[in-house]
Amino acid sequence: MNTRRAVFPGSFDPLTNGHLDIIKRSAPLFDEIIVAVLNNPEKNPLFTVAERCRMIEEILPQIETDGCDFVVDSFSGLTADFAKKSGASAIVRGIRAVSDYEYELRMALMNRRLEPTIETVFLMAAEEFSYVSSNLMKQVFTLGGRVEGLIPALVEAKMKEKISHK
């Protein structure tokens, strides 16, 4: 039997409840999902790739999996290359708004050109997370705003540690 494997790529800096919602809702579609943390130092990350991977690994066991296995990995470079190397048949992407769709459509078409055997699966964000982004969460948090319910409690605690040490 062929394993239906997908890659869910992102910076996850920080992981949000919107990301977790996409992971939960994609679980019934695949046998295995690789949560792939992008190493992109140009984004000025709050957490290192290793820190992001550890947080995700700690949080994922709390997710209802519907029999789907989760793997956390990191990568640099093209998502299509990582997906092919990982044996994935799909790339999962969440879409919050029309602006996301336009960007994600371009990326999906380029990924299809690079790796025609890998499909991109779009999932619409749940309404309550349609405005949540990692950058917005960092911005609100560093300015003293409340982010509970929008990011996992573990992530919020780690953000408090990071910000207090700066």
User: For the residues 4-11, what does the mean pLDDT come to?
Assistant: 97
More confident residue, 64 or 31: 31
The 10 Å Cβ neighbour count of residue 56 is 23
d(CA 81, CA 139): 32
Residue 97 scores a pLDDT above 90? no
Determine the pLDDT at residue 1.
62
Under the banding of pLDDT at 50, 70 and 90, the label for residue 44 is confident
More confident residue, 162 or 52: 52
Cα-based torsion angle of the residue sequence 71, 151, 43, 52 in order, rounded to the nearest 10 degrees = -40
* pTM: predicted TM-score of the whole model, two decimal places: 0.93
- DSSP state at residue 28: G
The 10 Å Cβ neighbour count of residue 107 is 15
pLDDT, tens digit (0-9, with 9 covering 90-100), for 144-153 = 999 999 999 9
Catalytic residue positions?
19, 43, 96, 134
Domain assignment of residue 149, given as a range: 5-164
Residue 164 scores a pLDDT above 80? no
The H or E element that residue 153 is part of is helix 153-164
What's the total number of domains in the chain? 1
Residue 72 scores a pLDDT above 90? yes
Determine the pLDDT at residue 69.
93
d(CA 26, CA 49): 23
Residue 91 and residue 118 in contact, taking contact as beta carbons nearer than 8 Å: yes
Say which CATH number the domain at 125 has: 3.40.50.620
Residue 6 scores a pLDDT above 70? yes
